[in-house]
Amino acid sequence: MSRVFVTHQLPGERLPLLAQQCDLSIWEQPGLLSAQGLRAGLAGCQGLVCLLTDRIDAQLLNAMPQLEFVSSMSVGVDHIDVEALTRRGIPLGHTPGVLVDTTADTAFALMLAAARRVAEADRYVRAGNWRLDNAWAPDFFVGKDVSGATLGIIGLGAIGQAIARRAAGFNMRIIAWNRSPMQVPGVEMVALEELLQSSDFVSVNVALTPTTRGLLDAQRISMLKPGVVLVNTARGGIVDEAALAQALDTGQVYAAGVDVFAQEPVAMDNPLLAHPRVVLAPHIGSATELTRARMANIAVDNALAALSGEPMPFCANPQVYR
């Protein structure tokens, strides 16, 4: 019987099915599994079901000659050396589709919260600062209008398109840049430079790959329209955090909503944490009960397919089946 290691207890109802099909071990401790823990748990296993917090690099893979499949409970696979898996013909499962609307909701929540200073206002009230001598005035907590503004979407995949649908309801002008050409009704495709220069709001929605790492570097951030609100629900490595913090300091960037960081959990000395106009979240883009259960179910279904010698229904490197 194949041995499969699962790096965390999963939501959803499918894990017992997996337990019937293999010799299953699950890492049950609280917190993140360490690299050593992952190596020890995976030793001798044919299958791995992992999270986006598990680093599956070439060094780990080289130590696992028996490995036959990997299934990640995530749509993004930047935590995994996909090329190394593909070279060995090992299929990699992921979970596209089911988290699209949930993540688009998070992007919009961050955009509204950053533009209308919701987190800052919450802190203000809780701290007892809302007093008669310090209260409503014409310029009290004024922010930026979302309705009618121009939204630039960087990366018009499924999540970018779901954000565009929400933006249409806010009567926004929607422009987008995508690595490959595409046409979406109601969205005007533009060059990246034009998007940066003319958007009142920018939403980052590309996958993190070697080509998108550092896409919004200091130079591109300096091209942003003064007063822009930037939202990142994709991956931290795409935006230069130090350059963003500096642009917030100068006021070129008015506010930001940041759900993802280059290092997670984020370091307490990350300059974005010090800025009052940054709305922070700990990578919760897909965090609803239903969506997480759906993601886990797909991750299990990918593993079940691999165990029965079938192609995974959602495979990030389908070339292994050709």
Q: Which residues are catalytic?
A: 235, 264, 283
Q: Judge residue 144's burial from the number of C-beta atoms within 10 Å of its C-beta, 0-12 exposed, 13-18 middle, 19 or more buried.
A: middle
How many residues interact with ligand DGY (rule CB under 6 A)? 7
Q: Is 290 helix (H, G, I), strand (E, B) or coil?
A: helix
Span near ligand DGY by CB under 6 A; candidates 36-44, 69-77, 147-155, 189-197: 69-77
In whole angstroms, the minimum distance from the beta carbon of 74 to ligand DGY comes to 3
Closest CB to ligand DGY among residues 248, 316: 316
In whole angstroms, the minimum distance from the beta carbon of 194 to ligand DGY comes to 28
Closest CB to ligand DGY among residues 79, 275: 79
Under rule CB under 6 A, residue 257 binds ligand DGY: no
Contact status, residue 245 vs residue 271, Cβ threshold 8 Å: yes
H helices of the chain, in order, are 15-21, 35-42, 58-62, 82-87, 100-115, 118-126, 158-169, 192-198, 218-222, 241-250, 289-307
Strand partners, 69: 47
Answer left, alpha or beta for residue 228, where phi above 0 means left and psi between -120 and 50 means alpha: beta
In whole angstroms, the minimum distance from the beta carbon of 51 to ligand DGY comes to 9
Under rule CB under 6 A, residue 203 binds ligand DGY: no
- Which residues from 26-65 bind ligand DGY, rule CB under 6 A? 52
- Which residues from 228-247 bind ligand DGY, rule CB under 6 A? none
Angstrom distance (rounded) from CA 57 to CA 51? 14
Closest CB to ligand DGY among residues 57, 188: 57
Angstrom distance (rounded) from CA 266 to CA 271? 10
- Which residues from 99-128 bind ligand DGY, rule CB under 6 A? 99
- Using CB under 6 A, pick the residue from 7, 46, 71, 74 that binds ligand DGY: 74
Angstrom distance (rounded) from CA 272 to CA 269? 8
- Kindly list the residues in this chain that would bind ligand DGY in the complex (CB under 6 A): 52, 74-76, 99, 285-286
